[in-house]
Amino acid sequence: MMHEDALRRLKNIEGHVRGIERMIESESYCIDVLRQIQAVQSALNRVSKLILDEHLHSCLITAVRGENIEERERVLKEIGDVFETATKV
């Protein structure tokens, strides 16, 4: 279910990006283009949240409840790395 929702959202984002391309080709007002780019970034953030939520409620929970300490540490490090990357601009 989550994958279908993520794919649907990504297809919408893809169409939105093509619209931004057309705006740039037609030399639309820069602020209008920037607003559309911000809308795409926001939509991508929602897809990221959807996928992260699914990961936290499946893979992470499984690793934390499991007996394998190395796997638990690996999964926790992955989450930390994702957050570190997300905060870089």
Instruction: Provide the pLDDT confidence category of residue 59 given band limits of 50, 70 and 90.
Output: confident
Contact 9, 47 (CB under 8 A): yes
Half-sphere exposure of 75 (CA within 13 A, CB side): 18
Q: Which CATH class is domain 2-86?
A: mainly alpha
Kindly tell me if the per-residue pLDDT of 60 is higher than 90.
no
How far is residue 19's CA from residue 69's CA, in Å, rounded to a whole number? 48
Average pLDDT, stretch 65-80? Answer: 90
**Of residues 21 and 75, more confidently modeled:** 21
- Give the global pTM: 0.82
